[in-house]
Amino acid sequence: MSAEKITLTLPDGSAREFPAGATPLEVARTIGERLAKAAVAGEIDGAIVDLRAPIRRSGKFRVLTPRDPEAGVVIRHSAEHVLADAVERLFPGTIIDAGRQDHAEKFQYDFRFPRGFTPEDLEKIEQEMARIVKEARPFERKVVTRTQAAAIFKNRKEEIKLVRLADIPEGDEITVFQHGEFVDLCRGPHVQRTDQIGAFKLIDTSGAYFKGDERNEMLQRIYGTAFATRDELDAYFAKIEEARRRDHRRLGKDLDLFSFSPLAPASPFFHPKGALVYNQLLAFMRSLYVKYGYQEVITPQLFDAELWKTSGHYFHYKENMFFSEVDEHEFGLKPMNCPSHCVLFGVHAHSYRELPLRIADFGRLHRYERSGVVQGLTRVRSFCQDDAHIFCMPSQIGQEVSSLFDMMFEVYGTFGFSEPVIYLSTKPEKAMGDPALWESSEAQLEKCLKERGVPYTVNAGDGAFYGPKIDFVVHDAIGREWQLGTIQLDWNLPERFKLAYVGEDGGEQRPVMLHRAVLGSVERFFAVMLEHFAGDLPLWLAPEQARVLPVSDKFLDAARAVKSRLVAAGLRADVDERSEKLGAKIRDGELGKVPVLLIVGAREAEAGGASVRVRHRGDLGSKTLDEIVAAMTTTTKQRALNPWPEAQ
RNA sequence: GCUGGCGUAGCUCAACUGGUAGAGCAGCGGAUUUGUAAUCCGCAGGUUACGGGUUCGAGUCCCAUCGCCAGCUCCA
C-alpha cells in the first residue's frame, strides 16, 4: 500500500509523484510553505476536497486559497460549523441537526430550540462567532467507525445526530470534523483554521421541518453567509439590494401596473397600464401563432366533475382545484386547459391529413395554492398561460418538438434572456398510465433533444402526472434562473378521452398530445420580465411609449398636436399638461420609466417637431415628427430591446 | 398548511418604557409660464387591517380572524 504512487498534475503543467494517501495539505507544503498556510482546500479534477483527506488517485490538482472564488463554499461550510458552535456555547443543551448541502451562497444550521431565535439572539450569536473566528481554532478531520461516531454523539446528547448517522449508508466512510469543543458529523471540506473565515453575517431565521418533511417536527433554522473578504460580503448584499430594487411587487405598485386585494387573495388586478402590457404579451404570442400554425380557441371555466374524473385531475390534482356544487352536480374550475381541448378534439371526426392540430388557449386558470406559498405574480391562484395542445401522430413528435424549440428560442431572444438551459423531467411518484408508455415517451423526448443537439440535464421524477416533460430555464439580467417554457408529452389523456383520427389506411388511430407553453404562466412571466428589465420596458411593451412635455403652457396646443400625430400612427402617447417646470416634467417622466420624452417649446413649435429625450440616454436633439414616428414605429414593430434606434 | 416577523393617510415612514396620531411625496385650490431629473403658498386626507379583551386610558399589552413578508413544504 505504502509503495503505491499517484501522479498529480499541477496548474503550471508539471506532474509530480506522491505516495497514495498524501493529503492536499502535504502536497501544498511541497509546493510552498506560504501556500500551505493560506490553503483552504484542495481540488482534484474539479472536485473540491478537504485539505486533510488523503488523495488516492492521480489527477489534475490545485490548492485553493481564499483568493479563489471556489473557496467560498468551503468558507461558508466552515462558518456553518462556527455558527453551530456559537449556538452551543450560548445556549447549552441545544440539539443541533445539520447544515446546508449547497453552499453556493449561504450557510444554515437547524436547531431544536424551545422558541424562535430573535434578532437579539442573532446579534449575540454573531458576536460569539466572531470570537471563535478570532481564536483561529484549527479544524480537525477524523475518520471514525460507526460505533465511535455513535459514542461521540451519545456522549454529547446529540440525539438528532444519531438519526443522521443511521441514515449514512453502510460501507460509507464516516468522518467527523472538530474545531475547539465542537464536533459534528460531516463530510467536509473545511478550512484549516476558523480565522480563514474572512467576513460573515447572519441573515435570517425561520422554521424548517426535520429532513424537509412537513410531518416531522419543526426545527429552528439560522441562515448566514460568509466570504473570504469583506468586499465580497458587501457585494453579496449589494446584489440582494439590487434584486429588491427590481422586485416586481415594488415596480408593479410604483408604475401602477397591478395590485392585490384581500378580497381575492393571490389573484392579481391588472390596472389599465398593466393590462396594456399584458395584452402586448398576448399579441406577441398571437403573432407567433400565425407563423407557427396554431388555432386559438375559447373554452369554458367551469366543468362538471365528470370531466375531471375522465382526465384524472379528480384523482391526481384535486387538492389544487376549486370545486362547487350546482344543480346537485359537482363542478370544478379548470386548473388546466388540456381536458377541454380533448373534449374539443372529440367534437369532429379527424383525418391524419389535419394533423398536427395545434390548439391554443389563453383561458383563465384557477388553482388552489396553500396560503403560505403564494407570492406576488409569480405564484397566484388565478392566471392564464400561453397554453397550447398539439394533437399529432406519433411519427410527428420529432418535427413538432423541433419547431417548438425554434419558437422558444425566438421568444426568449426577443426579451434578451440568455440561451435557455434545458431539463428533461421523468416519471414522478404520483404518475398515471402504463409504465411502458412512460418509458417510451421519455425515450422519444430524449431522442428529440439528441437530434436537436442541445445540451440538457435529466431531472428524475420531476415530470407531470400524465407525462414526461422538457423544461426551459433562462437567466435574467442579474443572473437569476427562471423556469419558463415547457413541453410535455402525453399519451394518457388521448387514451382516457378515447381520441381518434382516421389514419392513411382508413383505420382508427390514437393521436398523441403535446402540452406546451412558452411564457408559461403569463402572470409569472410578467413578473420575471418586469424584474429582468427593472421596469424599463422596451418600447413595444411600454404602456406609455412617449410623453410630450410642453416647455410652458403656451405650447400646450403644439404638444397636443404632437400627441395626436403619434396616436394617429398607432403609438401610445400622452401630454404632461401640468404647469410645472420642464425639469420637473422630465424627472417625473424618467421616474415613470417612459421610454421617449418629447419636448416642445418655441423652436420645436415653429419647426413642427420635438426635441427627443430617450430614457436613460438623455437629449438626442430636435427631430421632425416624421423622423420620430418612423423611428418609434420601426422599433415597436421590430420589438427591439432598445427604445430608439442605436445609430441615431 | 407550518415557523417567525409585519400591518399607522394613495405611497414612503414618524409617534420614549400605554397618556389621546405627525412629516415628506402624491391629490386638490391658487400663484408662477418655466428649455433637459423636484417652483412657491395654501387646503384636505387616518374608527391606526378587522373583531374581541385588559386598563382610568391602547397605534403601543393579550386573544382570535384576514392579509402581507422571509423561510419550510409545494409549484407555472
Computed on alpha carbons and rounded to an integer, the radius of gyration of chain A in Å comes to 31
Nucleotides of chain B within 7 Å of a protein C-beta? Answer: 1-5, 11-12, 31-39, 66-76
**Contact present, A86 and A129 (Cβ < 8 Å):** yes
* The pLDDT of residue A535: 95
**Contact present, A535 and A274 (Cβ < 8 Å):** no
Q: Which residues are paired to A462 by β-bridges? A: none
* The pLDDT of residue A620: 95
Q: What are the tens digits of pLDDT across the range A553-573?
A: 999 999 999 999 999 999 999
Residue A374: CB less than 7 A from any atom in strand B: yes
The domains located in chain A, with CATH, are 5-64 (3.10.20.30), 71-243 (3.30.980.10), 271-532 (3.30.930.10), 546-638 (3.40.50.800)
Q: Kindly tell me the sign of the dihedral angle through the C-alpha atoms of A17, A20, A24, A26.
A: negative
CA distance A631 to A573: 14
CA distance A632 to A629: 5
Which positions of chain A have pLDDT values less than 50? 1, 648
* The pLDDT of residue A648: 46
Burial of A442 by CB count in 10 Å (0-12 exposed, 13-18 middle, 19+ buried)?
A: buried
Residue for cell digits 430573535? A118
- Please state the ipTM of this predicted complex: 0.93
CA distance A402 to A500: 24
**Contact present, A133 and A197 (Cβ < 8 Å):** yes
Residue A527: CB less than 7 A from any atom in strand B: no
Residue for cell digits 416531522? A216
A352 sits in the region (left: phi over 0; alpha: psi -120 to 50; else beta) called alpha
Residue A221: CB less than 7 A from any atom in strand B: yes
Catalytic annotation present for A234: no
Which SS3 state, helix, strand or coil, does residue A293 take?
A: coil
**How many C-beta atoms surround the C-beta of residue A200 within 10 A?**
22
Identify the active-site residue in A161, A366, A469, A585.
A469
Residue A507's Cβ-side half-sphere holds a number of Cα atoms within 13 Å equal to 3
In chain A, which residues from 77 to 116 place their CB closer than 7 Å to nucleic acid strand B? 115-116
Residue A414: CB less than 7 A from any atom in strand B: no
